[in-house]
Chains A and B, each alone.
Chain A
């Protein structure tokens, strides 16, 4: 099976001018990445990580300095037209649309540029306008659209020619929570049709909610890749099991017994008036939970909370060390 996206030693440098003179900026430094078909793949990273550079190379808007990038088996440098026919993309934001054209006309124009014409184009545009919730506004000029509406139109435009691969560069940036949620729901619907989606974001909850697999980039390099649950294990933060007990006090023996359990890093007992809260830090996830509960059940268990390390914890550990 041909990978949807394959990058081998992909490198891209830019020459920038600064007060100290011209200097070379390495936006991508030998990136190796593979994305299977039908995956919703997230690329995480701070500003300057190389996310947008990667997307621009995959859309043929930017040439790599060295290395290779292939989309559906076609090299982005040697076969740009084949790649262009296979990719739909959005860069998001307020720009990138013709303000003087209506929403529908923007779609039809994009369709025309990708070989989708006539009745098929009109049908496809109507279908997509429905999907993105812009049917009522389709005949209005885009310059009257809100930011959220423009973002949804961007998505619809990217889909006009039914591309097998969709590249979304920070699709919810600048959107209010409601608009952002609508976009995420749309992305999930699109994925359910079998498309491969590569999405760049620096919003952890979004990455966790949407992505089957993730890559973390920083300073043009791949730091880690895998499923969200795998990446969370990279977190330096332990799992925290917190148990509130009815009757106090929790004796030293109980605390010592819990501390002796496998993977327990630390135990804290917090006094809260009539009750006590026992906080157990575990390096083995929620593995020790049942043993902890057994050692505390004589005190009467009131509430139990397990706080797993988040993707944000893992990301921070990876990116900032």
Chain B
């Protein structure tokens, strides 16, 4: 078990290094959240809701976009750089490595938090936070949730080429679906149901509960628990999909030599 933990931490460390992109590329990803920060803050001047959406919505957008950048092509990258054989052939269960990757990408997403919060504070736009520990928990949960979905996307990309075509649409799809900028209750019924199946939706709720108070009087524990449960389910789905992919690669790899 200790051996697995160490292997997982090494996978996290390797992932952090892999996900470290150039300052230019990261800035390119950070610009959208900053744009949303401006929009949210000035769309309805003087409105606390607007300010909250501007600051925390843009933070969540930035976190997800950063994870998407780091994670979505991860398994494809392992494949093209031919490090996937190392992972497949290792006696340590692949699930350990995949969970390590999730943690690495979750940590990377905090770069977006740093950027948006810094700009918001400097511009005097940071709203009053009702529950700071809950906010931190919400951000951590969101980071982990995003990373689990990022990994699932990453595995889907190597299982089916159709997934790769979805690209930016997938990234923005989460903005629309997961209540990053507005409550999911304003989405149409079936779409809202889909949104509630995603872990980021619930962790975003935790973040906004910390700033604006809980929605409809719900207990803070509910979105936390749901976020954790769905993140775990997404991780499991990613691992199972990966195992399926691995089995297919081993059975049907291209001829060599």
Tell me the A residues contacting B by CB distance below 8 Å.
14-16, 25, 27, 45, 47-53, 56, 59-63, 81, 84-85, 87, 89, 91, 93, 95-101, 105, 108-110, 112-115, 117-118, 157
Contact = CB atoms under 8 A, between A and B. Distances in A.
Contact of A59 (B89, B92, B249): B89
Nearest to B81: A95
Contact of B86 (A50, A53, A96, A108): A96
Given A84-B91, A112-B7, A98 B256 contact: no
B211 interface: no
B251 A98 contact: no
A115 B256 contact: no
A96 B85 contact: yes
Contacts of B20: 100
Nearest to B20: A100
B257 A91 contact: no
| Interface size class, chain B | 20 to 34
Contacts of B256: 27, 52-53, 56
Contact of B255 (A27, A85, A91, A95): A27
Nearest to B94: A113
Contact of B88 (A47, A61, A110): A61
A299 to B, nearest CB: 52
A59 B80 CA distance: 19
A71 B185 CA distance: 58
B216 interface: no
Given A25-B255, A61-B253, A113 B85 contact: no
A62 B250 contact: yes
A109 B10 contact: yes
Given A62-B250, A96-B83, A97-B83, A51 B257 contact: yes
Contacts of B184: none
Contacts of B6: 112, 117-118
Given A14-B253, A51-B257, A63-B251, A117 B81 contact: no
A59 B85 contact: yes
Contacts of B251: 63
B43 to A, nearest CB: 40
A157 B87 CA distance: 13
B89 A89 contact: yes
Given A56-B256, A84-B90, A98-B83, 9 more contacts: A48-B257, A51-B257, A91-B82, A95-B81, A96-B81, A100-B18, A101-B14, A109-B11, A117-B2
Given A60-B89, A112-B6, A95 B82 contact: yes
Given A61-B250, A91-B85, A114 B257 contact: no
A123 B254 CA distance: 38
Nearest to B92: A113
A115 B89 contact: no
